[in-house]
Structure 1
């Protein structure tokens, strides 16, 4: 990631270089180009304060770059690392703002598929979902349905770990796991290595939260193993707004996404 300045439009930007995966015969530029185009298309069709803004996609001498808005921010992962865990009202506020962006993405037919504390940016007044590198676009036949090896199993929905297709409910599980991390100061599943974490994630529910207070009901609803039983984004948003109201934090009423998509939209 590079910090840069757009001379034509006179604005600061961030430039993300897409690193191609290496195979036995060398760099896989075709795969890198496909991933870069998917990320740019996914984020580029969204316009919401809680979603990173993408300005352009560049290719120069076989190197690929995504130009996006420049943010002075810490990730949720870094913030919790500094503070240990976040207070209930902070976590609820972060969740409420982030969920508005996620509902906007789902309303536009975009699944993120890799929500985790490292992809959630916190600025002075914004919560921003970034890194749409493995997002799935409605109708994109090139989008893989497998979970990438780089994904942290603590934040991947159980049905995705079992090889099921990505759905909005799977994004909501990852969203809930990120809120769990924020308020508890630890991921939903822990272990000495990724394989141990994966085994625990496949075997059962996360340990009950101990610091979440009124957020426990939200986390329980989001982290249900059966996606059919998981709370909806609308329901979660209403619960978060009620917690904030009781905590004395004023937020705008939850709004429905502008578009209602037909059943089967997210089958990729």
Structure 2
């Protein structure tokens, strides 16, 4: 509950919960105000999963700590900023920057699909943040269109709830039920551990969704995961144009043959120049929006 006795709840003596923004299986996202720094923030109220006869508070605590520590060690305009982590009244709360944004999923569902230049620009921005995370040793492990936020000025990767440090032996190779199967790399479906290459496959699948208006594999078909393990290939994209080389390189089944992040960044910058969008070198964040960005 955000209010008690008719007054907004105050967390940690400084964060005033105002109203719920969204709810999913991982928790409730709240709009809140930081009284100390006088700024609006978003706060995730982490919902523990239920196992057996009750809530698994230990799992919720580990997940919240992983999300806050993984995102908290990163500082990049294309990665959500985490400000604080609280445990109060038996619940966990992650304090993050407040963004007025639509997800990539919401945007594509509204427009049907995105033009090539928008998709390439989103990919170029997002890949800069993903390269920053990988450089810091953080694997996201759950990239999909619902975790990609579009503000009109920034593309921001969120949803670090199952992120892990690269090479951490304590992280399970099991794919959490909260993951979107259509965006999970084939090798992970075969039980292999997460890797930067697996994140890049999920990144490529999200770009495929953006430009085609659908996932590379059916999102509602439970058999699609089995088909992918046994060698099924996605339908070739029909709207990708110059993005085809990028998508084919990112969506290769063999992680050893998949394009690396630096190569993908160069390919995306070439597509943007072909589309008349001026961008800086691939290692730098984009600062100029493409023409008519995020408008119908």
TM-score w.r.t. length of structure 2 = 0.84
Would the aligned equivalents of 2:113 and 2:210 in 1 still touch at CA under 8 Å?
A: yes
* CA distance in structure 1 between the aligned counterparts of 2:253 and 2:168, rounded to whole angstroms: 27
Matched, 1:213 2:241: yes
**Which of 195, 198, 204 lines up with 2:222 in the alignment?**
195
Paired residues for 1:98-137 under 5 Å: 98-137=126-165
State the shift of 1:141 in Å: 4.4
Aligned-residue CA RMSD (Å): 1.4
Report the equivalent of 2:57: 29
Which of 259, 271, 275 aligns to 1:243? It is: 271
- Find the aligned partners of 1:185 and 1:58 in 2 and give their Cα distance: 38
Could you tell me how far apart the structure 2 residues matched to 1:146 and 1:113 are? 11
Partner of 1:223: 251
CA displacement 1:20-42 (0-9 Å, x = unmatched): 01112311101100000000000
Q: Match for 2:201 among 166, 173, 184?
A: 173
- The C-alpha deviation readout for 1:223-249, integer Å capped at 9, x for no partner, is 000000000000000000011011110
Q: Is the 8 A contact 2:166 2:195 kept in 1?
A: no
**Whole-angstrom CA distance in 1 between matches of 2:239 and 2:167:** 41
Q: Distance in 1 between matches of 2:185 and 2:36?
A: 43
Question: How many residue pairs end up in the alignment?
Answer: 256
Structure 1: segments with no counterpart, 5+ residues: 258-268
Q: Deviation per CA, 1:114-147, whole angstroms, max 9, x where unpaired?
A: 0000000000110000010000124644422211
Instruction: Looking at secondary structure, tell me which structure has more strand per residue.
Output: 2
Could you list the runs of 4 or more consecutive aligned residues of structure 1 that deviate by over 4 angstroms after TM superposition?
Answer: none
In structure 1, the partner of 2:177 is: 149
Q: 1:123 to 1:256 in 2, by over 3 A?
A: closer
Higher relative contact order (CA closer than 8 Å, sequence separation 6+): 1
Instruction: Give me the whole-angstrom Cα distance separating, in 1, the residues matched to 2:150 and 2:284.
Output: 24
> Does the alignment pair 1:254 with 2:254?
no
Residue of structure 2 equivalent to 1:73: 101
- Mind listing any 5+ residue stretches in structure 2 that lack a counterpart? 1-28, 286-296
Tell me if structure 2 keeps the 8 A contact 1:110–1:138: yes
TM-score by length of 1: 0.93
Larger C-alpha radius of gyration, 1 or 2?
A: 2
Write the deviation string for residues 47-90 of structure 1: whole angstroms up to 9, x where unpaired. 00000000000011110000000000000000000000000000
Query: Who is 1:45 aligned against?
Result: 73
Q: Distance in 1 between matches of 2:198 and 2:114?
A: 24
| Aligned-partner Cα distance in 2 for 1:223–1:36 | 30
Please state whether the residue corresponding to 1:214 is helix, strand or coil: helix
1:82 paired to 2:110: yes
